Amino acid sequence: MAGDVPELDPAQALARQREGAVLVDVREDGERASGMAEGALGVARGALEAEPDRWLPDPDREVVLLCASGRRSLLAAQALQAAGYRRVASVAGGTERWRGEGLPMSAATADPEFLERYSRHLLLPEVGLAGQQRLAAARIVLVGAGGLGSPAALYLAAAGVGHIRLVDDDHVDRSNLQRQVLHTDAGIGRPKVESGAAAMQALNPRITVEPVRARLSADSVEDLLRGHDLVIDGSDNFATRYLVNDACVNLGLPMVYGAVHRFEGQASVFWAAHPGGRGCCYRCLFPEPPPPEFAPNCAQAGVLGVLPGIVGLIQATEALKLLLGLGEGLAGRLLQFDALRMRFDEVRLVRDPDCPACGARPRLKGYQDLPAGCSAG
- Residues identified as active-site: 298
- Largest Cα separation within the chain, whole Å, is 82
Contact 43, 69 (CB under 8 A): no
**Residue spans of beta strands (DSSP E) within 71-162:** 88-91, 139-143
Q: What letter represents residue 124's amino acid?
A: L
Q: Is the dihedral of CA 105, 110, 113, 117 positive or negative?
A: negative
Q: d(Cα 281, Cα 364) in Å, to the nearest integer?
A: 13
Contact 26, 78 (CB under 8 A): no
| Number of other residues whose CB lies within 10 A of the CB of residue 340 | 9
Residue 222 dihedral angles phi and psi, to the nearest 5° = -70, -40
Q: Which residue pairs, CB below 8 angstroms and at least 24 apart, start in 126-133?
A: 126/324, 126/326, 127/30, 127/324, 127/326, 128/28, 128/29, 128/30, 129/29, 129/30, 129/33, 130/29, 131/324, 132/30, 132/160
Instruction: Give me the count of residues in the chain.
Output: 377
Contact 313, 158 (CB under 8 A): no
180: nearest Cα among 163, 164, 192, 190: 192
Give all strands of the β-sheet with 22-25 in edge-to-edge order.
7-8, 88-91, 63-66, 22-25, 41-42
